[in-house]
Structure 1
Amino acid sequence: MTALRHAAEVIAGHPDQDFYAIALHGVSTEESESIGMPLLALNSVQALERDRLSESREQLVERGEDTDEPADYEDRPDAEGEGGLEPEAVTLEADSMVITETDDEDEESFDDESADGEDLDEVLASLEADLEEDDAESFYSDKWEPSDWHWSSIDLCEDPAATLWSEAMTKQAAREGWEPTVKRYYHTLVAVARSLREELNERTKADLVVYVADEEHAEKLLQLCLTDKQLSTYFPQLSSLPEGA
């Protein structure tokens, strides 16, 4: 099986990487002039983190929010530190030191409002962090989008074999109809994904998530490709749905 050989070679060639997913992608169920072979994609935890950090850095630079100080950065003339302005002498009048009860109440009220404001900011920041974490782990994030992965487009075979295979599938679709041909094709891809998972999980310590990627039938394909344990671990919102949903 060429998919198994290619995937095993990538994993064996990068022993320092913790691979978490493999996908077959690039084949649409929508009718077209030809049916091509799927692409093989793999990703590791380290590659995902590196790509996300790189993307975040690029976005900061584009927005002009680079956190590094420029080489010609200078302190404001009124900044604290050596060489700054000398502090001015301040003389307090006796009357200015009188604090009334009203002043106390206003100060306490201000402190309470500040504390409430800080609490609200913390709550909002926590909620935002939770939402970002959920988005980063969802199936529609870059974590599970094979076209965004580090190893994203590995050909299963080269020409002329790939062209001959595509021509044969296209002729079959013209003869028997597009929908039944693609349906059988996807059943074959699901079987390949399951076989890949079983074979590679025996060779590695990781519980590799192996699936056929297609946006139109994403949830259905995940349910067909993954084990019940993987569904409940990585996509709990799908594990409670019946397979026909």
Structure 2
Amino acid sequence: MQRYFIETSIEKARISGEDAHHIERVMRMKEGDKIVVVAQDNAHICTIVAFEGDGVVIQPTGEIIPSPELPVQVTVACGLPKGDKLELITQKATELGMFALLPFEAERSIVKWDKKKGVKKQERLQKIAKEAAEQSHRTHIPEIYEPISFKQLVNQVSNFDAVFIADEEDAKSIKRTRFAEKLKNAYDKKSNSILIIFGPEGGIARKEADALLQAGAQTMSLGPRILRAETAPLYALSAISYEFE
């Protein structure tokens, strides 16, 4: 069944905008057809009861589909990467269970966030996250935040139960810190919110890593191989899924 998100409660369920157009014009659904509607983080099986103007009126059947969400809220913070890598990270990380995406302006970020075009780019990323959440049957659409400064990122560390930095120098070390062990420790401490931080191309600068460690973050190693900026977050989310699910 097709899945759609609404911002109102299921009792006031009405689908409008692009989703209504998709239901009526693209999928060519009719009254009586069933769809899945996600409201307030719950996925409800609903029946289409009417097409009114540019909206679709639905009626919940009372059946709720179990949530597929990760048992921990994982926010991905990534240094602004080149090209369309942020779009790839948004899409694939959403499929893997990311809770939110927090881009930041890292020392080694080559690209700069264009404030004039930033709103439209952020809206596009949010749309990509919504479509990926629908495709992967999520009950939560990750929030894509506007990029912040590195100083603001450091101030965010205290807002999470556990914070990990993907440190390239750790990966090169003979005695690497095992991410699996740190995840197990976070699980034992019943950490509900996790922030994982990745640098752009070139990785996290040493002074950035030191500042994050002083703020309470921990290093993590994603194995002996150096991963690309768009690969590392996906690897980490997969490892978190393996450990917690």
The structure whose RCO (Cα within 8 Å, separation 6+) is larger is 1
- Greater share of helix residues, 1 or 2? 1
Q: Return the TM-score normalized by structure 2.
A: 0.22
Which structure has the larger Rg over C-alpha atoms?
Answer: 1
- Greater share of strand residues, 1 or 2? 2
